[in-house]
Amino acid sequence: MNASSKIQIAVPPEPPVLSVGGAQVDGLQLQWSSKMNGGSAIMGYVVNYKRDYGDWEELQIESNVESHLLRGLWCGTHYQLYVTAYNRIGTGLPSDIVSSTTKGSSNS
């Protein structure tokens, strides 16, 4: 008799694909999609963002959401953003960095 077994190894999720769907005076509409969850359900996302010459900030997003209106941003300001997904194994690699500018004119 020949016995065989299948071993499934779970790893952190693949990097999501991030895009900016629209800009407002104080916000950016973000959308992302996840390709592979690494063999374990995605438990959530972390959106990382910063304005030019600012510090990186992060925002935790629930696992059942693949879009978010990022509010409280500066008017007419350029931002860099990326998103990571995490599962029970760990946090995956970040998406490519996306750049976008809020509407309006900068006060700087």
Domain ranges in the chain?
A: 17-101
Give the three-state DSSP class for 91. Answer: strand
All residues at 6 or more sequence positions from 45 whose CB lies less than 8 Å from its CB, including other chains: 16, 32, 60, 61, 62, 63, 65, 83, 84, 85, 86
Measured CA to CA, the distance from residue 61 to residue 69 in angstroms comes to 11
Ranges under pLDDT 50 in the chain: none
> What does pTM read for this prediction?
0.88
One of 3.30.1330.10, 3.30.365.10, 2.60.40.10, 2.60.40.2130 is the CATH number of 17-101, namely 2.60.40.10
What are the structure tokens assigned to 18, written together? Answer: 């991030």
Instruction: List the one residue out of 20, 27, 10, 23 whose CA is nearest residue 83.
Output: 20
Per-residue pLDDT, 106: 67
Per-residue pLDDT, 35: 82
